[in-house]
Structure formats: structure tokens, C-alpha cells
Amino acid sequence: MLRETFVHIPGVGYRTEERLWRSGIRTWDDFSAARQPDRMAPRLARRIEEEVARSAEALRRGRHRYFARRLPARDRWRAWKDFRRDVAYLDIETTGLSIGRSALTVVGVYDGRRKRSFVQGENLEDLPAALPRAKLLVTFNGSSFDVPFLRKAFPRMCLDQIHLDLLHPLRRLGFFGGLKSIESKIGIARRDETAALRGFDAVRQWKAYQAGDEEALDLLLEYNMEDSANLEPLAEFAYAALRSLSIEGGFVTADRYRRNEMPRTYAPGAKSPAGNCA
């Protein structure tokens, strides 16, 4: 989908992009091979041609910052497939909702292969060294919650990834509510031990751990890692559905959704042990 994208180019909006698609120019390569599109100002055509060349080179070199700066926030889902090999699905737990007064307790990071948990008082300080390898950061409501907390806790941490906050593309598809509610609508099952837990339960589990209950930390880590790992099938679903909406004229909403339309069957991974760090 990224190679079919033109709205990251200054002067190109959604109507111009759709007009290019309808004229048969579906990809950057198509534009480079075509003559100047009908009814397009020569100046804009030259700009698109130059930007298409830069975009292709940036993608070939894996220069994620180029797209992080240029892609509109609502269209960063388009980069998911091309950068998913260098992804960090991330979720945080805190002592409360106030960025100024509350503290990070647990951060779960899943890259599609490894699951890593960073815990306050154990290895939380290792988190900044783990994220710079990621080119795509995927969260749920991370723009308003996770990322501001991370910037507060680690002012010098590099957070220049393409940030895909799934809250917004899922809303465009008709899925409202919290992460667990959307998971259940799509058919992502949680383990019995964590299925009923919500955000404030994570705060209580941390307090119980602080009071000496080691099992409370085990449960908190499992809950947090499910939050992180479940972002992968949600991102895959959002990408496939929004691509259908954008390119093929289809549309997938919560009321029309059928489970057999899921891009692939998702089975939750094995339980992540406490202190699973790498």
C-alpha cells in the first residue's frame, strides 16, 4: 500500500490521489512510466515525479524517518506491511493516569517474534536501548497515553519511528471502545486469567506486587504482554480492511464483520514468564 500512496507528497490530497488511481496510475512505478496525467498542472506533476523517486529510494533503503515525517497521521497504517519486520508492538502499565504524577510500572514490547517485559525496579532502564532498532511503533491510544508517558520517563529516548496508533484506523472502520472490547468483536480471545482484567486492575496488581505478592506481578506481565501481542492481529486486520476501502472500494465495519474475514487466524502465544527480558 505504501507504493500506492501519494498523499504524503505536498500538494496531493485524497481527491488527487483517487484521480491518479482511477486514471490507471496505481503505484509510484506507474507514475514514473506514464506521461503527465490529464488535467494536472505541470508544476505539480514535476513535484510528484521528484517525490516518487525520493520515496522509492527511501523505501529501498528502509529510511523510516522519511515516511514518519511525511505520512499524515491518519495514513500511517499504509506503512505497516513494508515495515512490519522492524516493528515494536508496545503497551505500558502505570500507577495512574496522570502523566505528571503517575509512574511507569511495566512496558511490554513484542516484535512479532520476541516478547520482552521491562519492569520498574528490575530492568525498566533497559527500554531505551531496545526501541531504536524498531522502525514502526504500534500502540493503541499511544498518541495520548503511552508515548507521552515514555517521553516523560525517558526524555532522551529516541522515538522517531513511524507511529501507528490503532485507535484511529479502527474507529474509521466502525470499531469503538477500548482495546479489549474491540478484540472481542474481532474474535481475539484472551486467557481465562486475564480476560476480565482492565486498566485499573493493572494498577491494583502492581500495588499487590509492591506489597509482596510475587504472583500479582506474574499476572500483570501476562496481561500487559497480551495487550502488546494482540496489537499484531489488530494491525493486520486494520491494514487489510483500510486497503480494501481505499483501493478496491470495499468497506469493512463492525456491523458487517464476519470472523472468517480475519486476514489470518490468531492464536495467543504461550504465557510470558515474569521478567522475560532480552
Fold for 2-61, please state it: DNA polymerase; domain 1 (1.10.150)
Contact 146, 90 (CB under 8 A): yes
* Average of per-residue pLDDT across 160-188: 94
pLDDT of residue 250: 47
Q: Which of 47-61, 131-145, 262-276 has the lowest mean pLDDT?
A: 262-276
pLDDT at 254 over 70: no
pLDDT of residue 60: 97
pLDDT of residue 260: 39
Candidates 3.30.160.270, 3.90.550.10, 3.30.420.10, 1.10.760.10; CATH matching 80-261: 3.30.420.10
Contact 104, 149 (CB under 8 A): yes
Higher pLDDT among residues 36 and 21, named by residue: 21
User: How far is 264 from 162, CA to CA, in rounded Å?
Assistant: 24
Q: What is the pLDDT of residues 112-170, one digit of tens each?
A: 999 999 999 999 999 999 888 899 999 999 999 999 999 999 999 989 999 999 999 99
How is the chain split into domains, by residue range? 2-61, 80-261
pLDDT at 13 over 70: yes
Rg (CA), the chain: 21
Q: What is the pLDDT of residues 203-232, one digit of tens each?
A: 999 999 999 999 999 999 999 999 999 999
Q: What is the pLDDT of residues 90-101, one digit of tens each?
A: 999 999 989 989
pLDDT of residue 178: 92
Of the pLDDT bands very low, low, confident and very high (cuts 50, 70, 90), residue 249 is low
User: How far is 266 from 187, CA to CA, in rounded Å?
Assistant: 9
Of the pLDDT bands very low, low, confident and very high (cuts 50, 70, 90), residue 105 is very high
Nearest to 102 by CA among 200, 194, 236, 32: 200
pLDDT of residue 36: 66
